[in-house]
Amino acid sequence: MAADDTTEVVRVRDVHKSFGTLKVLNGVSFAVDRGQVVALIGRSGSGKSTALRCIDRFETIDSGEITVCGHRVDAPGLDLRALRQDVGIVFQSYNLFPHLTLEENIILAPCAVKRMPRQAARELARRVVAEVGLEDKLQSYPEQLSGGQQQRGAIARSLAMQPKVMLFDEVTSALDPQLTGEVLKVIEKLAAGGMTMVMVTHEMSFARGIADQIVFMHAGRAHETGPAGILSAPRTEELAQFLGNGL
């Protein structure tokens, strides 16, 4: 079924993943509807980042099914280029090319992957940097930007591909509180604009305020899922302990 025929944009069903003898995902299942923000939370090693990376095929799964925007991600014949045009991902390390200006970082993929004319890509770059509040930094190199500005630049680079889904993997974990606030405001703005997002985060207050659905990962499973209210009234002892430890 094509993504446009349903409100469901991401479907993860009974996904298993091991690294050698280490079982990281042990039957993970959850779904994301169009326009939803889903927050994956849990202790380090619970499988949340691995689950996120499997959605964009940065990791392959051992068994189960993943469908994203109509793409069967686990299929051997997956068109990876088509998938990556529909799905943007931002990591905790900004991954901007240090020898390119912010503008050059942003227009690289639209020109190379979408064959967009360079002038059109430059106009697109101006639009996406405006969305993240970096209008005056287009000609700056990454080393001239703060950590928060680099992370916002990484978000702008993903937005330039005009994705249908955005994935965020602990994008504020390397930032101090002030810079964290800068980045979270950008993500809030994207959510308000209706962007479908899946985010791995340790920012519980942020998740409570922005997420339509919480997926608490524990022992490689989606142990407890529900609306953001489960962070105030967890139904399982494991989630209660996690929240009680302030992790």
Amino acid at 211: A
Domain boundaries, the chain: 3-95+165-244
pLDDT tens, position by position, 172-190: 887 888 888 889 999 999 9
More confident position, 172 or 236: 236
HSE at residue 237, side-chain half, CA atoms within 13 A, is 0
Q: In the predicted model, is pLDDT for residue 83 greater than 60?
A: yes
Contacts of 106-113 with CB under 8 Å at 24 or more apart are: 106/153, 106/156, 106/157, 106/160, 107/160, 108/157, 109/157, 109/160, 109/161, 110/160, 110/161, 113/81, 113/84, 113/85, 113/161
Greater pLDDT, 172 or 119: 119
In the structure, what pLDDT confidence band is assigned to residue 6 with cuts at 50, 70 and 90? low
Pure H helices in 35-176: 48-55, 80-86, 102-112, 118-131, 147-159
Is the model's pLDDT at 3 over the cut of 70? no
Q: What is the dihedral of CA 9, 39, 196, 19, to 10 degrees?
A: -50
pLDDT at 212 over 70: yes
| Superfamily per CATH, domain 3-95+165-244 | P-loop containing nucleotide triphosphate hydrolases (3.40.50.300)
The per-residue pLDDT for range 149-170, each reduced to its tens digit, is 999 999 999 999 999 999 999 9
Evaluate if pTM is beyond 0.95. no
Q: Is 70 left (phi over 0), alpha (psi -120 to 50) or beta?
A: left
What would the mean pLDDT of 28-56 be, rounded to a whole number?
95
| pLDDT average, residue stretch 185-196 | 93
The pLDDT value recorded for residue 4 is 46
Mean pLDDT of 214-236: 95
Residue-level pLDDT at 5: 47
Query: How is residue 127 written in tokens?
Result: 């639009």
pLDDT (0 to 100) of residue 245 = 63
Mean per-residue pLDDT of the chain: 92
pLDDT digits (tens, 9 = 90+) for 125-147: 999 999 999 999 999 999 999 99
- Tell me which of 4 and 174 has the higher pLDDT: 174
Whether the per-residue pLDDT at 1 is higher than 60: the answer is: no
